[in-house]
């Protein structure tokens, strides 16, 4: 048979995993809090009165209005997709030709590289400086030297929790001609969005999601905020009906009830700082400051901690040793009782290996 597969796709590995079945699941930075039952029931009433035999709204007008109200960005500067994943795929389809350069830093969200490979782009991850401080000067230098089409910065960064300051973001924006994509998937936990910079910088695009602070990873809804010129191009490559009617409706409901849904933010931040302090008292663990809903630390005991938690029916994210970094652990902030269980197991592993 003729070979159909593109060269750049041949060595990719498909993401094929079953949903994790553990008592405590804190490996994917999901919210520990499900969508409130009272809102689920409202959603269901709405669905019972919705003609599911009809195509959904092509350009989700109600959702755009609700997002505009939430973000302050005019509706013409917003586009939605099936998770930030689809939005990133749209960005590539709109702007990235084979061979184009996409710059980010390492470690950051793994999908930037995967989507770049699919687009047959040249992905250039600039290694962090010591203590996982992103090497901003090198990022800027690489982007300009290679005439990069796109720069990705995840703020706060996944997996390290690093938060970029306003000064750092302005420095990048003022130094490059590339499209700067700020992935604000976790911004609600941090609080300092860069959305207001859209007014001044036409080459800025901000990504957001309902999967984290809004506790709706299951519905797959992400969105991009940008200037009309950029957003208009994304609409050209969007499938006519890319967002199903159920996702549109539940996302609107979430935004209209965001005070209730986001009421957990304070608790999550305070739990994060409590966990951080407690872990800092343990030997061999190097804990990083986090502006997000997860904790990241390095330790030679990473594998042992991962395994012990797994034995206790708890799933966290373990990053193996590399040449440059010791093994590390990332786990999402769970409910207080879950956090205590995790802490006590980590404490035990560290003590046993002291």
**What residues from 117 to 146 belong to the interface with a second copy (CB under 8 A)?**
118, 120
Q: Which of residues 315-354 bind a second copy (CB under 8 A)?
A: none
3-state secondary structure the chain: CCCCCCHHHHCCCCCCCCCCCCCEECCCCCCCCCCCHHHHHHHHHHHHCCCCCCCCCCCCHHHHHHHHHHHCCCHHHEEEECHHHHHHHHHHHHHCCCCCEEEEEECCCCHHHHHHHHCCCEEEEEECCHHHCCCHHHHHHHHHHCCCCEEEEECCCCCCCCCCCHHHHHHHHHHCCCEEEEECCCHHHHCCCCHHHHHCCCCEEEEEECCCCCCCHHHCCEEEEECHHHHHHHHHHCCCCCCCHHHHHHHHHHHHCHHHHHHHHHHHHHHHHHHHHHHHCCCCCEECCCCCCEEEEECCCHHHHHHHHHHCCEECEEECCCCCCCCEEEEECCCHHHHHHHHHHHHHHHHHCC
The residue (of 94 and 345) whose beta carbon lies closer to a second copy is: 94
Only segment of 81-89, 154-162, 304-312, 343-351 that touches a second copy (CB under 8 A): 81-89
Only segment of 14-22, 66-74, 163-171, 189-197 that touches a second copy (CB under 8 A): 14-22
The residue (of 199 and 283) whose beta carbon lies closer to a second copy is: 199
Residue 85 binds to a second copy (criterion: CB under 8 A):
yes
Residue 260 binds to a second copy (criterion: CB under 8 A):
no
Only segment of 29-37, 125-133, 152-160, 189-197 that touches a second copy (CB under 8 A): 29-37
By the 10 Å C-beta count (0-12 exposed, 13-18 middle, 19+ buried), 147 is classed as exposed
Beta strands 328-332 and 294-298, pairing class = antiparallel
Residue 14 binds to a second copy (criterion: CB under 8 A):
yes
Q: Which of residues 32-71 bind a second copy (CB under 8 A)?
A: 32-35, 37, 40-41, 43-44, 47-48, 50-59, 61
The partner residues of 328 in beta bridges, in order of sequence, read: 298, 319
Residue 168 binds to a second copy (criterion: CB under 8 A):
no
The residue (of 77 and 83) whose beta carbon lies closer to a second copy is: 83
Nearest-approach distance from CB 309 to a second copy, in angstroms: 18
The residue (of 65 and 135) whose beta carbon lies closer to a second copy is: 65
Site string for a second copy, 187-206 (x = CB under 8 A): ---------------xx---
Only segment of 89-97, 127-135, 298-306, 344-352 that touches a second copy (CB under 8 A): 89-97
Residue 64 per-residue DSSP state:
H
Nearest-approach distance from CB 39 to a second copy, in angstroms: 10
Residue 224 binds to a second copy (criterion: CB under 8 A):
no
Which of 98, 127, 191, 300 binds a second copy (CB under 8 A)? It is 98
Residue 241 binds to a second copy (criterion: CB under 8 A):
yes
φ, ψ at 58 (rounded to 5°): -65, -40
Residue 23 binds to a second copy (criterion: CB under 8 A):
no
Nearest-approach distance from CB 238 to a second copy, in angstroms: 7
Residue 105 binds to a second copy (criterion: CB under 8 A):
no
Nearest-approach distance from CB 96 to a second copy, in angstroms: 7
Which of 65, 232, 267, 278 binds a second copy (CB under 8 A)? It is 232
């Amino acid at each position: 048979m003729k070979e159909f597969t593109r060269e750049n796709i041949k060595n990719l590995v498909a993401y094929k995993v079953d949903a994790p079945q553990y008592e405590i699941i804190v490996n994917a930075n999901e919210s520990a809090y499900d969508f409130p039952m009272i809102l689920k029931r409202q959603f269901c009433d709405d669905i019972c009165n919705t003609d599911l035999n009809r195509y959904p709204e092509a350009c989700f007008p109600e959702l755009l209005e609700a997002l505009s109200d939430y973000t302050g960005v005019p509706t013409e500067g917003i586009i939605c997709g099936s998770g930030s994943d689809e939005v990133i795929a749209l960005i590539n389809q709109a702007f990235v030709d084979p061979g184009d350069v996409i710059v980010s830093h390492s470690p950051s969200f793994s999908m930037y590289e995967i989507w770049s490979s699919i687009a047959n782009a040249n992905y250039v991850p600039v290694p962090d400086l010591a203590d996982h401080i992103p090497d901003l000067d090198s990022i800027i230098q690489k982007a300009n030297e290679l005439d990069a089409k796109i720069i990705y910065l995840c703020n706060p960064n996944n997996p390290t929790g690093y938060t970029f300051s306003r000064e750092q973001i302005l420095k990048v924006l003022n130094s490059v001609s590339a499209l700067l994509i700020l992935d604000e998937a976790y911004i609600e936990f941090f609080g300092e969005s860069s959305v207001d910079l859209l007014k001044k910088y036409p080459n800025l695009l901000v990504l957001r999601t309902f999967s984290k602070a809004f506790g709706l990873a299951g519905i797959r809804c992400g969105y991009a905020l940008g200037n009309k010129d950029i957003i208009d191009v994304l609409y050209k490559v969007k499938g006519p009906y890319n967002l199903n009617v159920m996702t549109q409706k539940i996302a609107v409901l979430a935004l209209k009830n965001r005070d209730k849904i986001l009421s957990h933010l304070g608790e999550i931040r305070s739990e994060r700082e409590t966990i951080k302090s407690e872990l800092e008292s343990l030997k061999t663990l190097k804990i990083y400051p986090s502006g997000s809903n997860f904790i990241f630390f390095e330790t030679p005991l990473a594998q042992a901690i991962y395994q012990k938690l797994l034995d206790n029916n708890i799933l966290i994210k373990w990053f193996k040793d590399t040449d440059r970094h010791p093994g590390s652990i990332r786990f999402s902030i769970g409910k207080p009782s879950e956090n205590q269980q995790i802490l006590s197991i980590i404490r035990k592993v560290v003590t046993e290996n002291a």
